Amino acid sequence: MRVLLLGAGAREHALARSLTSDPQVDDLLALPGNPGIAELAVCLAGDPADPATVVRTATEQHVDLVVVGPEAPLVAGVADALATAGVPCFGPTAAAARLEASKAFAKEVMAAAGVPTAAAHVCATQAEVETALGATGAPYVVKEDGLAAGKGVVVTDDLDAARRRHAAACLARPGGRVVVEDFLDGPEVSLFCLADGSSVVPLAPAQDFKRLGDGDTGPNTGGMGAYSPLRWLDEQRPGLVAEVVETVALPTVQEMARRGSPFTGVLYVGLALTSAGPRVIEFNARFGDPETQSVLARLRTPLAGILLAAAQGRLADLPPLEWSPESSVTVVVAADGYPASPRTGDEVTGLADAAQVDGVHVLQAGTALREGRLVSAGGRVLSVVSVGPDLAAARARAYAAVHRVHLAGSQAREDVARAAEQGEVLVPTTKG
């Protein structure tokens, strides 16, 4: 099989690693890829969010499957264009990707499908925002309606920050809308559900660390770390994955099919486990970054066959997926100034040294090669991924490797998976 992978982040580097270890994959091409992906794939220049470029590349290169990493190509209609050209694509059409591209649309679909989520108010004016904030009370949750790379959400007790700094700024953009919703308490879980338009196959759940700083302080980011599996979940809510497939993923996939926009790809279900039960925080239409790095590190079933089955509507025929019982921890190394204004152009060293740590591999995201030196070229620069017999071992390995990487001014959380290792993640007891 010849596979074309779209994207340039550490999630795509993880996908590239899994795809090239699948014996079914003869060749991997990446558009545009990054210096890490270039060690595994042929990287081609071009814009992965331009449907014409992607179709031309896929047909010229005779690829059997296109795998879309980020949301931008999906929203731009790359999957639609590939469908017209007859090239199998893992990733939803633009109409189906609206589940991620518009939080208001996602809320509408959830309401129609009876999916449990926070009560929400879609606001187009400042007056509507004021009324909604009055109705929800603190803590205030204000979300930009459109795509914002994980940075469009403000959760705060500060009414002024909610209404002036965030809501007003979002509304000022052309066609700007915000969603104001009830605050959801309880631990968060990311569950990636593969979908082929009608069937759903869940991957192993993971947990993401969205805030920049230790102890969940500082601004929201694209994600600063992750781990899988979630032993605390297996112990406290053993049936949760099946429950979420039945009450969230399948009803959503069925509702999208009913609307004539069947969903193919990853339905990323971001959940809060509240005292009233699981509630959807957000949907994304793609693999999560950095959770994918740890989820794929544990997947034993060859990936390309799974993604092709999803693209061709054959998920129901797949045997059950196989997983390593080991734990994986991912720690993101981010640039100075991330997320507001990451500094780029700093030299990155120590990668080979870090990869010497037992069970560790280093994935690249915001990197570039300049005169033979690896330099930072984005906010999230690396994902350091470990696998170990348990979470304590995996954490120790990941951090031993992180401390071997050098990047001036870099930021990394020191507490990824710490609460889980210490048995401190508690699901609130379900009421009624």
Phi, psi of 347 (to 5 degrees): -70, 140
Q: How far is the CB of 370 from ligand GLY (least distance, A)?
A: 28
The yes or no reply on residue 100 touching ligand GLY (CB under 6 A) is no
121 vs 210, beta carbon nearer ligand GLY: 210
Question: What is the closest distance, in whole angstroms, from the C-beta atom of residue 214 to ligand GLY in the complex?
Answer: 18
* Long-range pairs, 34-38, Cβ under 8 A, ≥24: 34/8, 34/9, 34/364, 34/365, 34/367, 34/368, 35/364, 35/367, 35/368, 35/369, 35/374, 36/10, 36/362, 36/363, 36/364, 36/367, 37/5, 37/8, 37/12, 37/13, 37/364
SS3 86: coil
Using CB under 6 A as the binding rule, the residues of this chain from 158 to 187 that contact ligand AMP are 181-184
Instruction: Please say which residue, 150 or 428, places its beta carbon nearer to ligand GLY.
Output: 150
Helix (H, G, I), strand (E, B) or coil at 117: strand
- Residue closer to ligand GLY by CB (options 10, 89) is 10
**Smallest separation, CB 74 to ligand AMP (Å):** 16
| Minimum CB distance to ligand GLY, residue 206 (Å) | 9
* Amino acid letter, 6: L
Q: Coil, strand, or helix at residue 272? A: strand
Does residue 384 bind ligand AMP (CB under 6 A)? no
Of 289, 326, 346, 421, the residue at the interface with ligand GLY (CB under 6 A) is: 289
Q: Which does 289 bind (CB under 5 to 8 A by kind): ligand AMP, ligand GLY, none?
A: ligand GLY
Find out whether 402 and 412 touch, Cβ atoms under 8 Å: yes
Contact partner, 143, from ligand AMP, ligand GLY, none, Cβ < 5-8 Å per class: ligand AMP
| DSSP-assigned letter for residue 362 | E
- Alpha carbons 293 and 165: distance in angstroms, whole number: 33
Inter-residue long-range contacts of 229-235, CB under 8 Å, 24+ positions, other chains counted: 229/204, 229/205, 229/298, 229/323, 229/327, 230/189, 230/205, 230/206, 230/420, 230/425, 231/391, 231/420, 232/187, 232/420, 232/423, 232/425, 232/426, 232/427, 233/189, 233/205, 233/273, 233/427
> Applying CB under 6 A, which part among 1-9, 180-188, 194-202, 286-294 lies near ligand GLY?
286-294
List the one residue out of 203, 127, 214 whose CA is nearest residue 167: 127
- Bridge partners for 382 per DSSP: 333, 364
* Residue number, 210 or 418, with CB nearest to ligand GLY: 210
Closer of 220 and 294 to ligand AMP (Cβ): 220
Instruction: Give the footprint of ligand GLY on residues 124-163 (CB under 6 A).
Output: 150
* Integer Cα distance of 220 and 48 in angstroms: 26
Per the listing, tokens 């152009």 go with: 345
Name the strands in the sheet holding 65-68, side by side, starting at the edge strand that comes first in the sequence: 42-43, 27-32, 2-7, 65-68, 89-90
Helix (H, G, I), strand (E, B) or coil at 388: strand
Under the binding rule (CB under 6 A), the answer on residue 270 touching ligand AMP is yes
Interface of this chain with ligand AMP, residues 109 to 148, rule: CB under 6 A? 118, 141, 143
Contact pick of 93, 136, 207, 284 for ligand GLY (by CB under 6 A) = 284
Q: Which H or E run includes 376? A: strand 373-376
Binding mask 215-244 for ligand AMP (x = CB under 6 A): -----x------------------------
Q: Which stretch binds ligand GLY (CB under 6 A): 101-109, 123-131, 288-296, 423-431?
A: 288-296
- How far is 163 from 66, CA to CA, in rounded Å? 42
Among 288, 359, 366, 388, binds ligand GLY (CB under 6 A): 288
Q: Among 223, 225, 229, 366, indicate the residue that binds ligand GLY (CB under 6 A).
A: 223
- Using rule CB under 6 A, residue 70 touches ligand GLY: no
Least spacing, CB of residue 308 vs ligand GLY, in Å: 23
Peptide bond into 139 cis (omega under 30): yes
Q: How far is the CB of 284 from ligand GLY (least distance, A)?
A: 5
Q: Which does 298 bind (CB under 5 to 8 A by kind): ligand AMP, ligand GLY, none?
A: none
188 binds, among ligand AMP, ligand GLY, none (CB under 5 to 8 A by kind): ligand AMP
Give me the residues that bind ligand GLY (CB under 6 A), please.
150, 208, 223, 284, 288-289, 291
Give me the residues that bind ligand AMP (CB under 6 A), please.
118, 141, 143, 150, 153, 155, 181-184, 188, 210, 220, 270, 281-282
